[in-house]
Amino acid sequence: MSDSKSKQDWSASQYLKFERERTRPAKDLLSQIHVKSPNRIIDLGCGPGNSTSILRTHFPQSHITGLDSSPDMISKARQTLPDVDFQLGDLQTYRPDPNEPVDVLYSNAVYQWLPHDTRLDTLTRLLSTLSSGGVFAFQVPDNFDEPSHESMRAVAGSGRFPTLKDLQWGRTPFQSPTEIYNAFKPLCEDVNIWHTSYYHVLDDHDAIVEWVKGTGLRPYIDPLDDSERKEFMDMYLAKIREEYKPLYDGKVCLKYPRLFVVAVRA
């Protein structure tokens, strides 16, 4: 679930604090892949192996390879699934081996980290490597305008953090369904696109912060020193408390929109 431009390695343990919630979209994506007995599957941005695990359960006879640029994620995946092939690799430059045809390219929440200007080119290039009937299925968070992410940008732009002044921090919005369809359709017999909003009920506001520390907050806090990071996190938590009102039982609800695409090669 990581890209090769991360300044520091990703933390598998931080990511897996919300394993059930993070794995649910992976299952929803898998449910729309209608391929019988694929021979070879590539899990692009496999992270700690939670998505790879559901692929292996669903397709027990398939050869599955998990690919990720994070050594910590690959290490955790290998510990969890020692009989699966996991490899370190750069998702921006990866191409399947033409001597080992791939039936399914699968990706759970990684391509939002690729540069916006090259993202569609990367996805279309991967799609073009599939044979007729091959499937490229991916989902990405679509939460750029959610309070959790607007608050990150607000704190980063507050003027309190000179280190972030000239930094192109954070993600850019993902391409629209129209852009994706228009790029994919010339290569595909079918392009299925849908959008789902998940509502994760978490224990408290600190839990929201813990959630995004594993992913979205990384580009903001990684460049900071310890004292700056603490101040950033304190300011961010204060804004989260303003934006997310407690529920009846004191818990909080984190809305998390995601965009899904399943494309079948013509």
CA nearest neighbour of 190 among 127, 140, 141, 111: 127
- Residue 247, SS3 per DSSP: coil
R_g of the chain, CA atoms, integer Å:
19
Calculate ∠ Cα 237-173-89, nearest 5°.
Answer: 95
Predicted confidence (pLDDT) per residue in 219-253, tens digit? 899 899 999 999 999 999 999 999 999 999 999 99
The DSSP element (H or E) to which 40 belongs, if any, is strand 40-44
User: Could you tell me if 136 and 183 are in contact, meaning their C-beta atoms sit under 8 angstroms apart?
Assistant: no
Pseudo-torsion of CA 14, 20, 23, 27, nearest 10°?
180
In this structure, of 139-148, 160-169, 242-251, the range with the lowest mean pLDDT score is 160-169
Q: How deeply is 199 buried, as exposed, middle or buried, from its count of CB atoms within 10 A (0-12, 13-18, 19+)? A: exposed
Percent of the chain exceeding pLDDT 70 equals 91
Q: Quote the strand ranges of 45-158, DSSP E.
A: 63-68, 85-88, 104-108, 135-141
Q: How deeply is 18 buried, as exposed, middle or buried, from its count of CB atoms within 10 A (0-12, 13-18, 19+)? A: middle
Calculate ∠ Cα 148-211-248, nearest 5°.
Answer: 70
Which pTM does this prediction carry?
0.90
For residue 183, give Cα distances in angstroms to 119, 121, 141, 205: 11, 9, 20, 39
Residue 5's pLDDT is what? 41
Residue 137's pLDDT is what? 98
Residue linked to tokens 């991967």? 126
Instruction: Give the mean pLDDT of the chain.
Output: 90
Q: Is the pLDDT of residue 169 over 70?
A: no
Predicted confidence (pLDDT) per residue in 205-217, tens digit? 999 999 998 788 9
What confidence tier does 163 reach under pLDDT thresholds 50, 70, 90?
confident
User: Could you tell me if 26 and 51 are in contact, meaning their C-beta atoms sit under 8 angstroms apart?
Assistant: yes
Backbone angles phi, psi at 71, to 5 degrees: -60, -40
